[in-house]
Amino acid sequence: MNQNQILKRYYKEFVTGMTAYVVALIVSLLVLNNTELPQMTKIVIVLIPIVPVVFVLLAILRALRDSDELVQRIQLQAVTFSSIATGLVTFSYGFLEGIGFPKLPTLWILPMMFLFWGISLSYFNRKYQ
């Protein structure tokens, strides 16, 4: 399978997974905001949108596994940078919280990692062209 085929399959899986995520998120929020439910049921409903995200992550891993060595190297460098940058930002912000800054919701950590991953992926792609 060539890189274009891998990307085509990945984009299809990504769009399908993210569409399912958005639908699951909207439905779960509507149910949670408009009904009275036991706590255990609320826990299950609030976690339902995570299921499509797992499929998106599996699509990412599958695309990476099937890619050539250069793409894998670029992705490794981008993910490494993303992990280190996210760790540095959250660690530093922890000190700022100690002097009165508002708490950083953990909900923002994964999007922050993806943001750093995208930025660094752009950089490393240009570096190897």
- Which of the residues in the chain have pLDDT under 50? none
Residue 1 confidence (pLDDT): 83
On whether the CB atoms of residues 52 and 20 are closer than 8 A, the answer is yes
Residue 56 confidence (pLDDT): 95
Burial 19-37 (b: 16+ CB within 10 A, else e): ebbeebbeebeeeeeeeee
Q: Whole-angstrom Cα distance, residue 86 to residue 74? A: 18
CB neighbours of 121 closer than 8 A, spacing ≥ 6? 74, 75, 78
